[in-house]
Structure 1
């Protein structure tokens, strides 16, 4: 099986030599930790719900670019800076998934890449597993 880098015109790519946003190996799709940074590199201002909506939208764009759908996501790890706001993240998540939700880990961290980033989410999908 070959490793393929997946790109979406809706998700800003990192500079060369840093990391890949998304890789597909066979039917397995790995999405790096996504944050609520806009195309200009600035963080989308808002609470956990607002930032989670942006992040889930990026994950959706990458999974779809890899040939899958959001319900193909089987595992997520969510990093938050305020664990008490977890219901805002769950509320956003419910707008992107149906049926059996992915296995998920939620972890509070002391900080992320920039002070205004409130959460980061990484995801693993298996294309075609939800159909």
Structure 2
């Protein structure tokens, strides 16, 4: 099995030598923690958890599809939030991107993320083809 890196024009790549946003090994697709940072790397899209979660889930969707999978192939997510009281906003956004059995998920409150205006970060693991009959 070979490790492959996948890209999406819709998701800004980190500087060389830092990390990979999306790697696939066999049918396993791993997505690094995504935030609502804009393409410029500085701006943050969305003023609340719901809006930021929609941005993040769209990034995950773009990367998962670039790697040859679909959102319903996502089997595990870890979600980091800075305000756990607003977690239902994240769940509402999630419903717009998944059908059927939702991924296994861990949600954890953290004291801060990369920038004060970033309210959540989500990483995901998918198994390509697992959602199809």
Question: Which structure 1 residue ranges, 5 or more long, are not aligned?
Answer: none
1:6 & 1:46 partners in 2: Cα distance?
A: 29
2:70 & 2:5 partners in 1: Cα distance?
A: 17
TM-score by length of 2: 0.98
TM-score by length of 1: 0.99
RMSD of equivalent CA atoms: 0.5
1:122 & 1:17 partners in 2: Cα distance?
A: 19
Aligned to 1:129: 130
Task: Give the aligned length.
Answer: 131
Aligned to 1:74: 75
List, as ranges, runs of 4+ consecutive aligned residues in structure 1 with deviation greater than 6 Å.
none
Aligned to 2:113: 112
Q: 1:24-63 to 2 correspondence within 5 Å?
A: 24-41=24-41, 42-63=43-64
Deviation at 1:45, TM superposition (A): 3.5
Question: Which structure 2 residue ranges, 5 or more long, are not aligned?
Answer: none
Deviation at 1:56, TM superposition (A): 0.1
